[in-house]
Amino acid sequence: MRTIALAGQGVCGGGAEGTALVSDVDLALSLIDPDTGVIMQPAHPLRGQSVAGRVLVFPNGSGSSSGSYRLLHLSELGKAPAAIINNQANAVVVAGAVLGGVPVVHKVSPDPVRAIRTGDRVSVDAVSGRITVSRDGQ
């Protein structure tokens, strides 16, 4: 087991843990299926995967401002991500995260979309901005 420490700026919410789901492509929250948490965004590398309970890592939000209410919707159904890590969080992600009670950390160093891999165990503290990544193997 190997652990990596990352540091960023906590934007909202408290602490959370989960398995990472990582992409280096911007994500439109409005294109997540509200009932299942599955990403529907055309041509997105994570299309078809569910965000439910995952620590979702992507560079920046994109697309419609209705994505904020989508995060509230997912949260009510228990399908929201456990936490969101961005390079830069936009207003759609942040407003939705407050509504849905999802912790957000951004401006993370080293670059989280490279340092964190899908499947890693990730612990997020959105108050201090500290992120701990655990990975099996060397």
Partner 1 sequence: MKLNSRQTEMLEGRLGWPSQIAMRMLTAVGSAYDADALIPVGSVHLGISGMSMAEPGMRFLEKLVAHKAAFVVPTTLNILSMDRDAVGTVPAIRADEDVQLRIARASETLGARPIYTCNPFVLGIAPRRNESVAWNESATAPYINAVVGARTNREGATALASALTGYTPNYGMHVPGNRVGGTLVEVTVPVSGADDFNVLGGAIGRAAGANIPVIEGIERRPSLDEWTAFCAAFAAISPLAMFHVVGITPEAPTRAGAMDGAGANQAPVKIGAAELASERSRYETARGEALDVVAIGCPHASIDQVRAIAETIGSRSIDPKISFLIQVNRDCAERARQTGLAQKLTAAGVTLLADSCVHVAYDQIPEGRTLATNSLKIAYLTASHNVNVHFGTLDDCVQAAVAGRWLGDSAKAAELARG
Instruction: Check residue 66 for interaction with partner 1 (CB under 8 A).
Output: yes
* Span 75-114, contacts to partner 1 by CB under 8 A: 75-76, 88-92, 94-99, 104, 106
C-alpha 71/C-alpha 32 separation (Å) is 9
State which of residues 2, 3, 5, 9 lies at the interface with partner 1 (CB under 8 A).
9
Per the residue annotation, which of 64, 65, 75, 123 is the catalytic one? 64
Q: Which residues contact 27 (CB under 8 A, 6 or more apart)?
A: 39, 41, 44, 46, 56, 58, 61, 62
101: left (phi over 0), alpha (psi -120 to 50) or beta: left
Q: Which of 93, 96, 53 is nearest to 73 (CA)?
A: 96
State which of residues 69, 115, 122, 131 lies at the interface with partner 1 (CB under 8 A).
69
Residue 64 among the catalytic residues: yes
State which of residues 6, 8, 12, 84 lies at the interface with partner 1 (CB under 8 A).
12
Report yes or no: 135 and 117 within 8 Å, Cβ to Cβ: yes
Q: Which residues bind partner 1 (CB under 8 A)?
A: 9, 11-12, 30, 34, 42, 64-69, 72-73, 75-76, 88-92, 94-99, 104, 106
* Residues catalogued as catalytic: 64
